[in-house]
Structure 1
Amino acid sequence: MSSSFRFLALALLALTGCERGPAPGLAVVDFRHARESGGTPVASWKGDQVTAEELRQRLEEMSPALRERYQTLEQKREYVEGLARFELLVQEALARGLQNDPEVLASTKRALVSRLMRSQLEEARPPVSDAEVAAYYASHEEDYVRPEQVRLSHVFLAAPRADAARVAAARAKAEKVLAEAKALPPKDFAAFGRLARTHSEEPRTQPLDGDLRYRSLEVLAQDFGPEVAEAARALVTSGPGALSSVVQTDAGLHVLQLTGHQTASDLKLEDVRQQITGRLSQEKRTQAWAELLSHLERRAGFTVDATTLSRVHVDMSTPMLPPSGPPPGTIPAPFPTAAAEQP
């Protein structure tokens, strides 16, 4: 094929591509190092170059300590040659058709999705209004304004205070349970829970290994008696794992273990405005990501044939085969880092 005919064919292909655009899954990628003309070349090769302006910018983007490596002509030559040789290797890979290698395609797809995610979630940050922040604070005020709370586990033995004989028998058993609890490692909450499951006579908490969950001292007094609340207050100074003596209430006897403590909190809206704004902004970006995925599925006419899919057998008995290629891409989580912390 003559060079003029080859040029005409390439021109027609380019014109066709401009008119119709690439087919789905196909793209034209410009791998040239310098995509814009202009500048003063410090190194050139066929169809590409490194300019003095680019080199100056690259050096200014380095830390001052790193720039010390490139003070002499030879040091700068070494850096420029490194840039050029990398680009020459890219050109050679393209000449060998490696841009269509499965590993290259898989890496490129992941890079494209990652860049799309940054564009969708980070560069287009949806605004959060003061009204939205105030509404969130109002609906979650218990997270920011709450009294001191304790978490207890208990072994309860029913013995009404007026029944002296029953109280005496229950106390003897409670003292025995307390002795067993003291013999346990201080923070072996599971072991104390087994004592509660075995001996406790409180039907609501016995199946939960005696766990009372977090309660304020006021609620604790209302639910189990002021004696339990006072005992809990005393345990706080010793910290989680501390055991009470046998505590008597109108309903019976308790052996208590402190398993958690939360100090009182009184955070105003202004104290947590920035935190709430960040949380709502993250929620909006996550929603925007989900909406983008739904839009792309609708636009592409995405469907799943459930009947055919159900016939795909998953054999758990066969050995693992060697991979036939890179694993398929999967949708990354919008925010892989931990969610915003509670106050």
Structure 2
Amino acid sequence: MSPVSRFLSLALLALVGCERGPAPGHAVVDFRHSREPGGTPVAAWKDDRLTAEELKQRLEEMSPALRERYQTLEQKREYVEGQARFELLVQEALARGLQNDPEVVASTKRALVSRLMRAQLDEARPPVSEAEVAAYYESHKEDYVRPEQVRLSHIFLAAPRTDAARGETARVKAAKVLAEAKALPPRDFTAFGRLARTHSEEPRTQPLDGDLRYRSLEELGRDFGPEVAEAARGLLASGPGALSGVVSTEAGLHVLQLTGHQTALNLKLEDMREQISNRLSQEKRTRAWTELLAGLERRSGFSVDAATLSRVHVDVSTPMRPASGPPPGTIPAPTPAAPPSSASVERP
């Protein structure tokens, strides 16, 4: 009996005779091409075959254009011989014991983990109910329904209207600051931010280079005065980078630069149902994968000896050594979450 035959016979006997299965870290793998009985062989070799039924199926899985290459007997023979020769090479590799080669084992492990992920997550995709979709929409409604918003940076000089002397001093300084701002490149927001950090007297925004973040016009009017909201509205036609004049409010003077604009948004639940469902499904898949890993660790008695681990010295000064084998496997992440809606707001 050939080495390959002995290997396959032992594998089959192990499957039949060992009720408890292979020992931990060992597996019995059937590498035969045809593992089911039946069918009409179009090609055969020791302990294996390729059937007409499989060949027909493989050809039908090709595009019509590719099938044009296999119309004659010789063309079909070429395809069959290629398939058989591949399987003969597999048997030769097994005869040489290459199934235990570290590189083969590492590749097999990665393939097994990938297949496990598909079985655990893709083939058992968790359902998402209408109630879950509706609850997500309500809890994230600001991403789907919001008023028009603008983003400004400002330089503020405190000058209450009731203090005429202070107001006059502030107006002189504001005019100089505005002249400096106009001398900057229109979209050099960093340079305007430096001016704000140097000159602004607004304690909440001065450390942020004068950035007011995204706000609706109503919020601007409420927080900084209706004059600021009206000035912001006037900057929209010119686009980001546009500068206001000196804007006077009850509290003082502002020099404003428009840095962003978001139009109003009103997406209904019906508009977002499919996207939200996909997102929730992905979140469930991620949780399922995390729970599987935790369960495997728990059932296996996995533990880390922190004291021993701490004594493993990592010397960053030594040169890199040649690889002693394939790199260790890494845990794959579930497929990326669905991309966020183009409507959702990226909060800076």
- TM-score, structure 2 length as denominator? 0.91
- The corresponding residue for 1:222 is 222
2:250 aligned partner: 250
1:174 corresponds to which residue?
Answer: 174
Q: Secondary structure at the match of 1:81?
A: helix
Rounded Cα–Cα distance in structure 2 between residues aligned with 1:170 and 1:11: 90
Deviating 4+ runs (over 6 angstroms): none
Q: Name the residue aligned to 1:138.
A: 138
Match of 1:263 in 2: 263
- Cα distance in structure 1, aligned partners of 2:12 and 2:128: 50
CA contact (8 A) 2:278 2:338 kept: no
In the alignment, what sits opposite 2:346? none
**Is 1:153 matched up with 2:153?**
yes
| Equivalent residue, structure 2, for 1:74 | 74
Alignment of 1:43-54 (within 5 A): 43-54=43-54
Q: In the aligned structure 2, how far is the partner of 1:65 from the partner of 1:234?
A: 61
Q: Percent identity?
A: 83
Q: CA deviation at 1:337?
A: 5.8
Equivalent position of 1:36 in the other structure? 36
Unpaired segments of 5 or more residues in structure 2? 344-348
In structure 2, what is the equivalent of residue 83 of structure 1?
Answer: 83
CA distance in 2: counterparts of 1:328 and 1:59, whole angstroms: 38
Whether the aligned pair in 1 keeps the contact of 2:15 and 2:28 (CA below 8 Å) is no
C-alpha separation between the residues in 1 aligned to 2:171 and 2:164?
A: 10
Runs (5+) with no aligned partner, structure 1: none
CA distance in 2, matches of 1:95, 1:340: 52
**Change over 3 Å in CA distance of 1:262–1:12 after alignment to 2:** closer
1:206-229 deviations in Å (ceiling 9; x for gaps): 101111111111011000011111
The aligned residue for residue 124 of structure 1 is 124
Aligned-partner SS, 2:214 = strand
Q: Is the 2:11–2:29 contact (alpha carbons within 8 Å) kept by the matching residues of 1?
A: no
Deviation at 1:131, TM superposition (A): 1.2
CA displacement at 1:342 relative to structure 2: 5.4
- Report the Cα distance in structure 2 between the residues aligned to 1:52 and 1:16, rounded to whole angstroms: 29
| CA distances 1:3-33 after superposition (whole Å, capped 9, x unpaired) | 9xx89x9499627852221111111111111
- Residue 96 of structure 1: aligned partner: 96
Contact 2:11 2:30 in 1 (8 A): no
Partner residue, 1:23: 23
SS at match of 1:25: coil
- Deviations for 1:222-245, whole angstroms, at most 9, x for unmatched residues? 000111111111222222222222
Shift in CA distance, 91/183, structure 1 to aligned 2, threshold 3 Å: farther
Q: Take 1:78 and 1:234, find their aligned partners in 2: how far apart are those partners?
A: 74
Partner of 1:20, secondary structure, is coil
Residue aligned with 1:241, SS = coil
Q: For 1:165-201, what per-residue CA distance to the aligned partner results, in whole angstroms no more than 9, with x for missing partners?
A: 3333322322222232233232222222111111111
C-alpha deviation, 1:253, in angstroms? 1.3
Partner of 1:320: 320
Q: Equivalent residue for 1:64?
A: 64
Secondary structure, counterpart of 2:213 in structure 1: strand
Report the AA paired with residue 135 of structure 1.
A
- 1:166/1:24 CA distance change after superposition, 3 Å: same
Distance 2:161 2:255 in 1: 16
- How many residue pairs get matched? 339
CA RMSD of aligned residues (A): 2.2
Distance 1:236 1:47 in 2: 78
Counterpart residue type for residue 293 of structure 2:
L
* Alpha-carbon offset, residue 43 of structure 1: 1.4
Change in Cα spacing, 1:13 to 1:31, as seen in structure 2 (3 Å) is: closer
2:162 corresponds in structure 1 to: 162
Q: Distance in 2 between matches of 1:11 and 1:261?
A: 68
Aligned to 1:306: 306
Contact 2:279/2:337 (8 A) holds in 1? no
Residue 293 of structure 1 deviates from its aligned partner by 0.5
In 2 relative to 1, CA 14–182 (structure 1 residues): closer, same or farther, beyond 3 Å? same
Name the stretch that deviates more: 80-89 or 185-194. 185-194
SS at match of 1:254: strand
**1:231: which partner in 2?**
231
